[in-house]
Amino acid sequence: MRASKLYAPTLREVPAEAEIPSHQLMLRAGFIRKAAGGVYTYLPLAWRTLRKIEKIVREEMDGADGQEIAMPIMQPSELWRESGRWDVFGEEMFKLNDRHGREFCLGPTHEEIITDLVRNEVRSYKQLPLLLYQIQNKYRDEIRPRFGLMRGREFIMKDLYSFDKDEEGLDVSYKKMYDAYTKIFSRCGLVFRPVEADSGAIGGSNTHEFTALAKNGESEIAVCTKCDYAANIEKAEAVVLYPQDENELPLQKTATPNAKTIEAVIEYLNMPIEKSIKAVAFQDEKDRLICVFVRGDHEVNEIKLQNAVEAVNLRMADENAILAAGGIPGFMSPIGLKKGTMVVVDETVMEMKNACCGANEIDMHYVNANPKRDFGEVMVKDVRLIQKNDACPHCGASVDITRGIEIGQVFKLGIKYSSALRATFLDENGKEKPLVMGCYGIGVSRTMAAAIEQYHDENGIIWPRAIAPYEVVLVPVNAKNEAQMKLAEEIYTELKKEGIDVLLDDRKERPGVKFKDADLIGYPLRVTIGPKAVEEDKIEIKVRKNGKTIYDTKDGYVKNIKSLLEEL
């Protein structure tokens, strides 16, 4: 390809709406243009990168016995009503009517469609396992689409669905996908972690998110500094902290005038924060009051709490609800709440000795509270957020908290959809059973954005070789200089012949403009043909990633380029 023909309109200005580097750089470097909020056109450079990612995805899906199909984007409402999700998805689903008034949605996911497809065709255990996938646009009506391709409303996903005869089969399919995902993101050159995650609205009992580490990521993850443990902080198990043993002193009520916050209480009592107990009160969708107690320096993990009390939605409790349960806001205590109030105490709190906590009286706290002795019958659960330096639940080393971008997720669905849609098969004994399902997604367009978040500098993108729109940009310094152009054309022909994906920047622009664009677009290698190349047989090869510059001769440069590319 020749840059003079390439449609890659670059911008010198950073568009104001773009907040993070991937969004800014994709606009500036001519990769995408916005058509509506969260809806983009992919220009030729972006499309080349996306097609390279897709190719890697396809190869690994095929290699893991996946078969490619294409399901409709426009899905009839009937199937979604059958599974019970038509209303669950709510405003996040784009809905429309056809001219006859029939309801459709734009697929945010395809469990219903695929379950319907196989329920009419898969009849015997002999047809299992079955793994079907597609690469396609997906639709979610995000309240606030943002960060460019990171949280769009129309985006490209690969989704695979597995069908097995039993849980063991599902384990095998799950492992296959887990391994394939590891290969895919490695091949794309990303720094990522498979992290344990909460299964959320899609349901299922076991799930991992593949998370590209990036400081602008929307996911917070806990990562072990020693072993390969990683978990979404929503999910990450918080190991129980055991304080030094000490003798239990008698419970004692003490005045703490105006000390309504933990900080005020410990200052007033002159105690370390690790000896304080913090109270938080929630109400759920059924208006149940849930009083939660965590250590003063810990935070409540609402997802864990939600799962512990089997709630769907949590909100901060109304003051009246707390008062009605015998609690005093700001001084709430597990001791003295009305019987029947739901009290959840974090596991670490239960191990505390001689701690301070509220006393359910205005301006009063207890000291020397010993939860096991004093709290009575309460629900004890891990309901706190993991923190930096907490112990890794796998190896005990300390964990770090970092951010990342969810680029893939693998899910064990079990029989949730196959039971709802009655997708059954006959097992070895002729018994009818529901298919055991898994689903596995990769955000293809988001993977492109994640790569940019990981690989860029102040001058532009730095593409990993495998997903670069072109591997090499070939820049004649002066396109009006015949000798330079002649040599550049020879090299262009030779590199193409060698199977190298090369762009010839034959534009009649100043060298500065061409070099700036090369850095901005982020081709892994730049080969420069200037006077030195023509007169001294010194062909300049520059590595975008580290700025390393090498000179080679016309006889040697191809080999050099090939070995440089292999390292990138």
Residues of this chain that interact with a copy of itself (CB under 8 A) are 5-7, 9, 33, 35-36, 39-44, 47, 50-51, 65, 67-76, 91, 94-96, 98-99, 102, 104, 106, 113, 116-117, 120-121, 130, 132, 137, 139, 141, 143, 153-154
| Tokens read off for 39 | 């809806």
Q: How far is the CB of 105 from a copy of itself (least distance, A)?
A: 9
Residue closer to a copy of itself, measured from CB, 35 or 255: 35
| Tokens read off for 362 | 């205005």
Determine the Cα–Cα distance for residues 421 and 509; give it in Å rounded to an integer: 62
Question: Taking the mean position of all CA atoms in its chain, how far away is CA 536?
Answer: 51
Residue closer to a copy of itself, measured from CB, 364 or 426: 426
Provide the 3-class DSSP secondary structure of residue 180: helix
Residue closer to a copy of itself, measured from CB, 36 or 316: 36
Residue closer to a copy of itself, measured from CB, 102 or 548: 102
DSSP state of 154: E
Residue closer to a copy of itself, measured from CB, 68 or 218: 68
Residue closer to a copy of itself, measured from CB, 135 or 399: 135
For residue 153, give the nearest of 223, 210, 93 by alpha carbon: 93
DSSP state of 546: T
Residue closer to a copy of itself, measured from CB, 497 or 508: 508
Residue closer to a copy of itself, measured from CB, 149 or 355: 149
Q: How far is the CB of 89 from a copy of itself (least distance, A)?
A: 12
Q: How far is the CB of 134 from a copy of itself (least distance, A)?
A: 8
Q: Give the Cα-Cα-Cα angle 409, 146, 180 (nearest 5 degrees).
A: 20
Beta-strand ranges (E) seen in 241-317 are: 252-255, 277-284, 289-295, 314-316
Q: How far is the CB of 65 from a copy of itself (least distance, A)?
A: 7
Residue closer to a copy of itself, measured from CB, 135 or 357: 135
Q: How far is the CB of 382 from a copy of itself (least distance, A)?
A: 36
Contacts of 226 (CB under 8 A, 6+ apart): 392, 395, 397, 398
> Are the C-beta atoms of residues 77 and 57 closer than 8 Å to each other?
no
Residue closer to a copy of itself, measured from CB, 33 or 486: 33
Q: How far is the CB of 8 from a copy of itself (least distance, A)?
A: 9
Q: How far is the CB of 48 from a copy of itself (least distance, A)?
A: 8
Determine the Cα–Cα distance for residues 166 and 170; give it in Å rounded to an integer: 6
Q: How far is the CB of 20 from a copy of itself (least distance, A)?
A: 21
Contacts of 71 (CB under 8 A, 6+ apart): 107, 110, 113, 114, 117, 134, 136
> What DSSP element (H or E) covers 267?
helix 262-269
| Tokens read off for 303 | 């997802």
CA distances for 59 relative to 56, 181, 515, 568, angstroms: 5, 11, 34, 20
Determine the Cα–Cα distance for residues 503 and 469; give it in Å rounded to an integer: 9
| Tokens read off for 172 | 């095998």
Which residue in this structure is represented by tokens 């945010």? Answer: 108
CA distances for 322 relative to 117, 189, 365, angstroms: 51, 52, 17
> Are the C-beta atoms of residues 119 and 421 closer than 8 Å to each other?
yes
Q: How far is the CB of 498 from a copy of itself (least distance, A)?
A: 20
Residue closer to a copy of itself, measured from CB, 50 or 236: 50
Q: How far is the CB of 102 from a copy of itself (least distance, A)?
A: 8
Q: How far is the CB of 43 from a copy of itself (least distance, A)?
A: 5
Determine the Cα–Cα distance for residues 185 and 57; give it in Å rounded to an integer: 9
